[in-house]
Structure 1
Amino acid sequence: MALILFVSALLLGAAVVGWLKLPLYPFEAVALAVVIGLFGWTWLAFLAALVLPYHLAIPLTLGLSAGACVLLWNPRRPQWRPLEGGRSGWILWGVASLVTTAMLGRLFWTHSLVRDSTGVYSAGSTWADFGLHAAVISHLAVFDRMPLDLPVASGAHLTYPFLVDFLSALYLRDGWSLHFSLFLPGVLLALAVCQLLLSFSLRLFGHVGAAVGGLTLFLLMGSAAGLRLAYADWQHSGRSLTDFLSDLPRDYTVLGPENGQVTNLVTTTLLPQRAVLFGFGVGLTVLILLHVARDAGDRRYLLVSGALIGLLPMAHPHTFIVCGAVLVALTVEAALRLRRLPWGHLAAGGGAIVLAVPQLAWQQLANGGGTGGRLRLGWAVGDGESIWAFWWTNFGLMGVLFVALPFLLLRPGWRHYLVWYLPFLAILAATQVYAFQPFEYDNLKLINYVYLMASLLAGFLVVQACRESRWNLALLLPIGLIVAIPGMLSVTHEFQDRTQFAANADVALAGWVRATTAPDAVFIGADRPGQPVATLGGRSVVLGYRGWLYSYNLPYADREAAVSAALKGHIDDPMVRKFHPNYLLVAAEEDKSWTIDRNSLARLPLAYRNPTWTVYRLTGAGVSDTVKTSQQSR
C-alpha cells in the first residue's frame, strides 16, 4: 500500500509540472515532479486527515490526486530546454549528479535508522535529531486518526513543522519499515534540491560550470575556522595526512569551544533536519517560478508561487520567510519598472498570506508561548567576544563575499542580479539582530539561504573572471579550496561515523510497548534523545529531550519536577498527577543528575523488565489502565 501512496504522489507531481507548460531541462522536470508531487500530496493527505480517520482520509487523498492528474494532464510532448554548453555541459552535469547521488545516497541510507543484528544505527547530528523525527513519525502512525499532540511533551500541541514526518508516518502505517520510510522521501528530496539548485543557477547565469561551482560551495559550507583547527590537529597527531584523513577526530564545522556556528549543510542540515527537505525543495521551486514569471510576465507562475509560499509554514517556516522576502523584492522592482501597481505580484502575495495565516496562528498560539523570538545583537556572539572575530571564525572569506556582492553587482550588465541578492542580504542582517527561536543557532536555517544565493553568485563570478583571463583560475581555485575544505572534512567525517541509536534491549522494549499498551498511553521517565518508548514505540513521554523543548519555547520545569518525583517513587505527587502518566520508565543506568529511589520503586506494580529497562504501572497515580500487565525477562 505504501508504494501506491508514493507512486500517486509522483504522478500528481508529473501532472502539475506538465500543466505548467514550462520549457524545462529534463532533470529539472523530474526534480520538480518529485518536490511538487510529494509536497502537494502530503498537503492533501494532511487536510483529509484533519477531519477524517486514516482509513477514509488516505483513499480520499488517492482519489483527489487521481482526479487532479486527469484534470491537469497535458498530453502534448514536453518542451525541453536545451542545456547550455552542449555535450560538455551534459558531461559536467552528469559528473556533478553522479557525485551528489553517490554521496547523499550512501549517507541517507546509513543515517536513516538502519537495523542490523545488534540494534538500530545512525550517525552524527542525525543520531540526535532523528529521536524527535522518529517519535513524531511513530506516534502519527499508531493511531487510527491523526493526533496533533507532541509526543516528546505529553499534552502539548504539535506545532513543529511536521509535514515531511507525516508523509513518512503514512508510509510506515502502510507497510514500509521506519528505515525505508525515512530514507526514500529523504534522499529523493535531497537529490531534487541539488538538481533544482543547478537549474536555478542555469536560468540565472546560463553556464553549467557556474551552476556546479555554486552547488559545490553550498554543499561544502562550514565554519571558516575549521581549516585552521584541522591543520593544528593534524600537526599534533604525528600521523601522515592520509592516515589523519582516514580517521578524522571530529567534525571541523561543529566547533563548540571556538563558537563556530556555521555547520556543514549536508551533515547538520540535509541529513538530520528533515523539515528542510520540503523547505529547500519548495523554496527553489518558488525561485524558479518567480524567475520565469519575471522574464515571461505570466501571472500563472506568480499565482502558483504564491500558493506554494502560503503552504510553507507547516513544512518549513524559515523558507516561508525567505520566499516572502524574495516576493516582496520582486514586487517592489516590478512596481518601479512598470510604474504601476503589479497586480499579479500583489495577488500572489495576498494568496500566500491568506493560506499562511492559519498555520502561523497555530504555530504561535497553540501552546501559548509563541516561538521565543527576541532581539539578539550579533547572532550567537559570545559574552566578551568581538563580533568581528565571531564573523571571521564563522564566515571567513564567505563573509567578505556577502558584503562585497552588492557592490560587485553594480557593474553594468550585472545589476539585474541585485534584485535576487538583496532580499538574502536583508535576511542576513535580520539574523544578526534578532533570534527567531530561543536557540540562536537556529538562525542558521535562514543563513543557509544566504549561503545558497552567495554560492551561486560566486560560481558566476568565477566564470566571468576566467573568461577575462584563464590565469584568474590559479588565484580563485585556492580561495575556493580554503572556503570548502572545512565542509569537505565534515562530510568525510560523516562517512566514518556510526552511532547506535537503539540497542536490542531498546527494540525489545518498543516491541512490548506496541503490543501491550494503548496508543495514547503516557510514559514518564528521564529525558534522552533516543527514548525507545517514543522513537520506536510511538507513545508519548512526559519529558522528552530538554534541548528540543527549549528550542520550541516549551516550559519544562514542571515536567522535570514530575520526573524527579516519580523516580523517587512519589507517584502521588501533584506534579506527577498533572501529566496523568500510565507508566514509569527507568533505565538500569540513568544520568547522575537524577535521584532514583529503587527501593521505593520496587513496591510499584511491575509491567515489564529486561536487562536495560524496567517499566512500572502507575495504578497509584490514579490513572485507569485497562491494558494487561505483562512481565518479561530477557
Structure 2
Amino acid sequence: MWLLLVLSIFGYGFSLILSRKNTGLYGILLSPALGISVFTQITLVLAFVFGVGYTSIFLALAVTVVLSVLCFVKFRQKFSLQNFPIFFVVTTIFVVFFLAYIWLTQALTSSPLGLKTGGGGMYGDTALHTAYTSRLETGEFPIQNPLFAGKILVYPFANDLLSAILRISGLNYNLAFALPQILFLIGFLVLFYKILRRFTSNWGFVIALLVLLLGWGIGALFFLREWQLSDISFLQFLSRDYTDNSQYNLYFHNILTGLVLPERSFLPGLFLGLLAFRNFLEYFKSKSKKLLIINGIVLGALPFWHTHTFIFFVILSFIFALWLMKINFKKTLIDFSLMTMVAVVIAIPFLYLFFSNHQVGQFLHTSFGWQNKNENILFFWFKNSFLIIPLAVLGFWFIKRDWKIYFVPAFVIFIIANLIIFQPWDWDNIKLISWSFLFFTILIGYLLAKFMQKGMFVFSLVCVLVMTSIASGSLSLLLQLKNDYIIYDKSDIELADWAKKNSKIDEVFLIEPLPTHPVPGLSGRLVYLGYPGHLWVHGIDYGGREQQVNQILAGDFSRLNNLEVPINYIVTSSSDFSFALPSNIRVAYRNQKYIVYKL
C-alpha cells in the first residue's frame, strides 16, 4: 500500500507536463495512474537486467521520484481548485465506488472456502492473470509462459508486473489486483471527461459515459421475450449474458463485463490511449513537439500494456500525420518521425520478444464481417450495437468541420477490424472495435446533448433512446453482480503453498490442463501444458504436448523420455493412479484433492 501512496504523490509531477494551464484537482486525480504507469515501465526495463525483485523495484522507484521532482521544478504551476465541476466529481465517485465494489468482492477475494471471483470472463481471465502474476513474483525475467514451460511469454503483462510488485511489497491478491484497476479507472474518467468537454456539455459526457459503459445491442429484447414465456422471477431467469450470446449471434460483449472487469490490460490501455489522444488534441492547436515526444513514449510502452490499443493508435497516428501534412508537410514529417523513433526505441524489448518467439502470419488473417458468419453484416451490427453506428454517423455529420478529423480514425479502424483479424482468435478484435465505439459514444454524446436543448419532448425522446441503448449492458452488469464462484478452494491453496516451498522455480509440473489449476495459478511454477484455451488464443501450438500429457496421465510413462521439456512432478486429482508406478516415481505430497508425484 505504501508503494501506491508514494507513486500517487509523485505522479503529480508528471501531470504538470501535460498542460501549461493550471491542472488543479484534475492533476491530482491523474497522478496515481501516471505514477504507477511510469514506475511500472521503468521497472520492466530494469527487470531485463536485475530481474523482478527489490533491486529493480527500488531503483525504479528512485528514478520515478527523481523524474517527478525534475518535472515539478521545470513545469511548476500555481495550484487552484477554481472552476472544478461538482458534476464531474459526483459522477466519478459513483462510477469508481461501484466498480471498486466489484473488484474488491470479485477479484480473488478471500472467503472461508478459498479465493472467489466473478463469473463470465472474470473466471477464466482471473486464473490466467494470476498465473502470470505469480510467475513474475518468482523474479525470473523475461518469464517463461507458466502454462507452457520452455516458451518465453509474449503478452502485454505490464499490469500483471505491477500486481506482482505489489504482492512482493506485501499486498494480498485481491488488493494487488483491484487497487491498480481503481487508480487507472480514475485516470480514465478524468481524461474521458476532459476530452468530452472539448466537444460537448456535461450532459453529453453523461450520455457518452452511460452508452460506453452499459451498451451494446438489442439482446435485452431477446431476454424479455424469453422471460415472458417463463414462470420464474426476473433475477432467477437472468442466467445468461445477452450482449455475448451465440444463440442470437450476439458477440459484441458489453465493455465492462467483457473487457474492463476481466481483461486486466484493457483499462490501462484505455487510460494510456486517451492520454495519447488528449496530447494529439493539444498538438493540433499548439504544434508543440513536446506532446508528440510524450506520445512516442506512450506508444512505445503500449505493447507491454495493451497490444490492441497500440495497434489502434498506430493507425490513428498515421491518419493524423497524413492530415497535418496537408497543412505543413515539413514540420509534420519531422515531428511525427521523431515520435516514431521514440516509440520504436521504447518498444524494442517487446519487438524483440515478439519476433523471436512468433511469426506475424500466426496472427494476421482476413475475415469479412468479424463475427457475423452468414448473417447480413448490417443486420448483425444492428443486433449487436442497436443504433450506435447510425447515431455516430449522424453526430459526425453535425459536428464542426474542424473536429471531424478527430473521429475519422474510429470509422476507418472499425472497417479494418471487420476485414482483418489481428490475432488467432477472431473475437479478440472486439478490443479494436471497442476503441472505435468509444469515439462513437463521444459523437453520440455531442449529438444527443445538442438535441436535448430543443424542448421537453425531444429531451424525453433522448432519455428513452439512451435507456433502450443501455438495457442490454445493464442486464450483463446485473448478471456479473449476481454470480461469484470459488476459483481456488482450500485444497488448491494448500497445494500451491506446498509447491512454492518444496520446488524450485525452474522445475516443471505435468498437470491435468484445467483452466484454474493452482500450480500455475498460485505457486508461480511452470507446467508442461496448461489450459489449451489460454494457449491457442495467443498463437501457441500445443497439440503435440496435449497428446503426450493425455498418454502419460493414462499410464504410458515411456512418453516421459520424449518430452520437449523435462518434467519434475506429476499432479493428479484422482485418488491414485490405477496402475503400477515406475520405481523412479514416488508420492511427494497429497491432500484431499491432489496427489503430487516426484520423478
Range of TM-score over shorter length: over 0.9
* 8 Å contact from structure 1 (residues 377, 433) kept in 2: yes
> Match of 1:199?
194
Q: Deviations over 1:412-434 (max 9, x none)?
A: xx112211111011110111111
Percent identity reads 25
Query: How has the CA–CA distance of structure 1 residues 247 and 184 changed in structure 2, closer, same or farther, with 3 Å as cutoff?
Result: farther
Aligned partner letter, 1:563 = V
* 8 Å contact from structure 2 (residues 96, 185) kept in 1: no
Aligned partner letter, 1:68 = L
> Match of 1:498?
484
> Match of 1:248?
238
> Match of 2:54?
55
> Match of 2:578?
598
| Partner of residue 461 from structure 2, selected from 475, 479, 487 | 475
> Match of 2:411?
425
> Match of 2:505?
519
1:248, distance to aligned residue in structure 2 (A): 2.3
1:25, distance to aligned residue in structure 2 (A): 5.5
1:64, distance to aligned residue in structure 2 (A): 1.3
RMSD: 2.3
* 8 Å contact from structure 1 (residues 92, 208) kept in 2: yes
Q: SS of the counterpart of 1:580? A: coil
Aligned partner letter, 1:562 = Q
Q: SS of the counterpart of 2:596? A: strand
| Partner of residue 249 from structure 2, selected from 244, 259, 267 | 259
Q: SS of the counterpart of 2:470? A: helix
1:277, distance to aligned residue in structure 2 (A): 2.1
> Match of 2:229?
236
| Partner of residue 331 from structure 1, selected from 321, 342, 349 | 321
In the alignment, the residues of structure 1 paired with residue 556 and residue 42 of structure 2 have an alpha-carbon distance, to the nearest angstrom, of 46
> Match of 1:310?
300
> Match of 2:136?
140
| Partner of residue 221 from structure 1, selected from 215, 222, 227 | 215
Q: SS of the counterpart of 1:452? A: helix
State how 1:182-193 maps to structure 2 within 5 Å.
Answer: 182-193=177-188
In the alignment, the residues of structure 2 paired with residue 358 and residue 370 of structure 1 have an alpha-carbon distance, to the nearest angstrom, of 20
Q: SS of the counterpart of 1:237? A: coil
Query: How has the CA–CA distance of structure 1 residues 179 and 285 changed in structure 2, closer, same or farther, with 3 Å as cutoff?
Result: same
1:377, distance to aligned residue in structure 2 (A): 1.0
The answer to whether structure 1 residue 290 and structure 2 residue 290 are counterparts is no
Q: SS of the counterpart of 2:558? A: coil
Instruction: Please say which of residues 256-265 and 128-137 is displaced more in the overlay.
Output: 256-265
The answer to whether structure 1 residue 209 and structure 2 residue 195 are counterparts is no
> Match of 2:104?
109
Q: SS of the counterpart of 1:598? A: coil
- Give TM-score scaled by structure 1 length: 0.89
| Partner of residue 439 from structure 1, selected from 405, 421, 425 | 425
Instruction: Please say which of residues 384-393 and 104-113 is displaced more in the overlay.
Output: 384-393
Aligned partner letter, 2:308 = H
In the alignment, the residues of structure 2 paired with residue 258 and residue 601 of structure 1 have an alpha-carbon distance, to the nearest angstrom, of 50
* 8 Å contact from structure 1 (residues 32, 285) kept in 2: no
In the alignment, the residues of structure 2 paired with residue 348 and residue 107 of structure 1 have an alpha-carbon distance, to the nearest angstrom, of 38
Aligned partner letter, 2:527 = V
In the alignment, the residues of structure 2 paired with residue 311 and residue 369 of structure 1 have an alpha-carbon distance, to the nearest angstrom, of 20
Aligned partner letter, 1:301 = L
The answer to whether structure 1 residue 572 and structure 2 residue 558 are counterparts is yes
Aligned partner letter, 2:203 = G
> Match of 1:415?
401
Q: Deviations over 1:398-425 (max 9, x none)?
A: 132344454444xxxx112211111011
> Match of 1:127?
123
> Match of 1:363?
354
* 8 Å contact from structure 2 (residues 137, 168) kept in 1: yes
Query: How has the CA–CA distance of structure 1 residues 402 and 69 changed in structure 2, closer, same or farther, with 3 Å as cutoff?
Result: closer
| Partner of residue 484 from structure 1, selected from 470, 474, 484 | 470
1:252, distance to aligned residue in structure 2 (A): 2.0
1:49, distance to aligned residue in structure 2 (A): 1.2
1:55, distance to aligned residue in structure 2 (A): 3.5
1:570, distance to aligned residue in structure 2 (A): 2.2
Instruction: Please say which of residues 601-610 and 158-167 is displaced more in the overlay.
Output: 601-610
> Match of 2:543?
557
Q: SS of the counterpart of 1:312? A: helix
| Partner of residue 281 from structure 1, selected from 265, 271, 277 | 271
> Match of 1:624?
none
1:62, distance to aligned residue in structure 2 (A): 2.1
1:515, distance to aligned residue in structure 2 (A): 1.4
* 8 Å contact from structure 2 (residues 147, 530) kept in 1: yes
1:388, distance to aligned residue in structure 2 (A): 3.0
Query: How has the CA–CA distance of structure 1 residues 467 and 340 changed in structure 2, closer, same or farther, with 3 Å as cutoff?
Result: farther
In the alignment, the residues of structure 2 paired with residue 245 and residue 397 of structure 1 have an alpha-carbon distance, to the nearest angstrom, of 27
Structure 2 unaligned spans of 5+: none
In the alignment, the residues of structure 1 paired with residue 370 and residue 356 of structure 2 have an alpha-carbon distance, to the nearest angstrom, of 25
* 8 Å contact from structure 1 (residues 571, 577) kept in 2: no
Query: How has the CA–CA distance of structure 1 residues 32 and 91 changed in structure 2, closer, same or farther, with 3 Å as cutoff?
Result: closer
Q: SS of the counterpart of 1:313? A: helix
In the alignment, the residues of structure 1 paired with residue 9 and residue 248 of structure 2 have an alpha-carbon distance, to the nearest angstrom, of 48
Q: Deviations over 1:493-516 (max 9, x none)?
A: 111111110111111111111111
Aligned partner letter, 1:142 = T
Aligned partner letter, 2:161 = F
In the alignment, the residues of structure 2 paired with residue 354 and residue 61 of structure 1 have an alpha-carbon distance, to the nearest angstrom, of 19
1:550, distance to aligned residue in structure 2 (A): 0.9
| Partner of residue 344 from structure 1, selected from 318, 335, 340 | 335
Q: SS of the counterpart of 1:157? A: coil
- Give TM-score scaled by structure 2 length: 0.94
Aligned partner letter, 2:177 = L
Q: Deviations over 1:186-207 (max 9, x none)?
A: 22212321222112111333x2
* 8 Å contact from structure 1 (residues 226, 486) kept in 2: yes
1:554, distance to aligned residue in structure 2 (A): 0.4
1:4, distance to aligned residue in structure 2 (A): 4.0
Q: SS of the counterpart of 2:263? A: coil
Query: How has the CA–CA distance of structure 1 residues 203 and 246 changed in structure 2, closer, same or farther, with 3 Å as cutoff?
Result: farther
Query: How has the CA–CA distance of structure 1 residues 536 and 370 changed in structure 2, closer, same or farther, with 3 Å as cutoff?
Result: farther
Query: How has the CA–CA distance of structure 1 residues 22 and 221 changed in structure 2, closer, same or farther, with 3 Å as cutoff?
Result: farther
In the alignment, the residues of structure 2 paired with residue 93 and residue 56 of structure 1 have an alpha-carbon distance, to the nearest angstrom, of 40
In the alignment, the residues of structure 2 paired with residue 399 and residue 470 of structure 1 have an alpha-carbon distance, to the nearest angstrom, of 25
